Structure 1
Amino acid sequence: MVVIRHARQNEACLLVEIGLRAWEKAIAGIGDVGSVRGPAERAFGDFLVGHWLSVLLIEDDRRICGWAAREGLDDTISDLWIDPVAQGRGFGAALLAEVEKQIAIDGFDVASAKTHAQNASAVAFFQRARYHVSWLSTAYSQKLDRDVEFIGLAKRLALEDAADEL
C-alpha cells in the first residue's frame, strides 16, 4: 500500500541515501559524480538534519521510495527525489500532487521548483505535471564545483481543490 507521510528524524540517514542515488542519476553527464559525492552527501545530511520537519516521504509496503521538501515552507519545492529503483511507478507524481496540495492549503497560488537545465528527465517530469519554464540562469554549484545552468519551473495551482480539503 502506498502511503505519503511526514518524515521522522530517525529516517534522515535513509533519506540521504535515497537522495544521493537519485541525485547521482540526475547529474550523470553533468559532472564527475565520484569527486563530488562527499560534498553532496554532506549537503543532503545537513539539509535533512536541519529540515526534516519540512519533508514528506512516500512509502510502498513500508519501504521508503522517495521524498520531497519545501525548505522554507513556502511555495518552492526545494527537493523531490525518487529512488532510481522505484522510478517510473507514479511515486513522483503522487508525491508532487501532495506537496502541491500543501502549498495551496498554505495559501500560495503558484508552486515552483528548479533543477539543472540538463536534467531532461526532471524537466520532462515537471512539464508532464503542467509546470512551465519561468526562468533560466547560470549559477555556481558548490556540489559540482562549477557553474551550472538552472531552470525554474512554475505551476498555477487550483485553489478550489485545496479548499475542498479544509
Structure 2
Amino acid sequence: MIVIRNAYQQEAEVLSAIGLRSWRQATMALGITATLYENAASAFSNFTRSSWLAIRVAEFGGAVAGWAAREHFDETISDFWIDPDFQRKRVGSFLLADMERLIEGRGFDTIRLETHAQNEPAVAFFRHHGYSVRWLSISYAVKLDRDVQSVGLQKQLVEVESGLYGTEF
C-alpha cells in the first residue's frame, strides 16, 4: 500500500539518504566525482533538515520510499526523488498525483520542474504523466568542469484559450 503524507522533522536523515541514492542513479551519465558526491550529500542533508515542511513523503508498505518538495510553495516541483529500490512500483505516480493536487489546489494553472537532459528515465516518466518539454538549456557546471544540459518540463492543469485560432472573429 502506498501512503502519501507530510514529512516529519526527525526523518530528515532518511530523506537525505533517499535523495542522494536517487540523485546518484540519475547522474551516472554525468560522471560524478567524489567531491561532487560529498557536495550533493551536504546539500541533501541541509535541504531536508531546513525545508522538511515543504516535503511530501511516499511510503510503500510502511517504508519511506521517496519524497518530493515545492521549495517555494509555488507551481514548481523543486525535488522529486524515488529510492531506486522502490522505482517502477507506482510510488512515483502516486507522489506526483499528490503534488499535482496540491499545486492545483493552490490555484496554479501549470506545474513546472527541471532535470538534466541525460536523465532519460525521469523525462520519460514525466512525459508519460502529461508533461511536455518546454525548454532545453546548456550551462557550464563548475563542479563538473563541463557543460550540462537541463530540460524544463511543464504540465498545463487548466485549458487555456488562446483566441488565435478558430472561426470567431
What's the % identity of the aligned pairs?
A: 47
Q: Distance in 2 between matches of 1:145 and 1:105?
A: 41
SS of 2:29's equivalent in the other structure is coil
Give the alignment of 1:82-101 within 5 angstroms: 82-101=82-101
Residue 109 of structure 1 corresponds to 109
Aligned residue in 2 for 1:3: 3
Structure 1 residues not aligned, in runs of 5+: 160-166
- Following the alignment from structure 2 to structure 1, what is the Cα–Cα distance between the partners of residues 145 and 87? 27
- Provide the secondary structure at the position in 2 that maps to 1:5: strand
Determine the C-alpha separation between the residues in 2 that align with 1:35 and 1:146. 15
2:165 corresponds to which residue?
none
Secondary structure of 1:32 counterpart: coil
Matched residue SS, 1:71: coil
Cα RMSD, aligned residues only: 1.6
The alignment's TM-score, normalised by the length of structure 2, stands at 0.89
Check the 8 A contact 2:114/2:153 in 1, yes or no: yes
State the partner residue of 1:25: 25
User: What does residue range 27-42 of structure 1 map to in structure 2 within 5 Å?
Assistant: 27-42=27-42
State the match for 2:164 in structure 1. none
Question: Which amino acid in the other structure matches residue 133 of structure 1?
Answer: V
How far 1:75 moved relative to its partner? 0.3
Alpha-carbon distance in 2 for matches of 1:29, 1:53: 32
Give 2:66's aligned amino acid: G
CA distance in 1, matches of 2:88, 2:143: 26
**For residue 163 of structure 2, what is the aligned residue in structure 1?**
none
Amino acid at match of 1:37: Y
Using the TM superposition, name which of 72-81 and 31-40 deviates more: 31-40
Number of the residue aligned with 2:47: 47
**Structure 1 residue 96 displacement after superposition:** 0.4
Letter in 2 for 1:88: R
Larger Rg: 2
Amino acid at match of 2:122: A
Taking structure 1 as the reference length, the TM-score comes to 0.90
Deviation at 1:35, TM superposition (A): 3.4
The verdict on how the C-alpha distance between 1:23 and 1:106 changes in structure 2, with shifts beyond 3 A counting, is: same
> What does residue 126 of structure 1 align with?
126
How big is the shift at 1:92? 0.4
- Structure 2 unmatched runs, 5+: 160-169
Contact 1:138 1:148 in 2 (8 A): yes
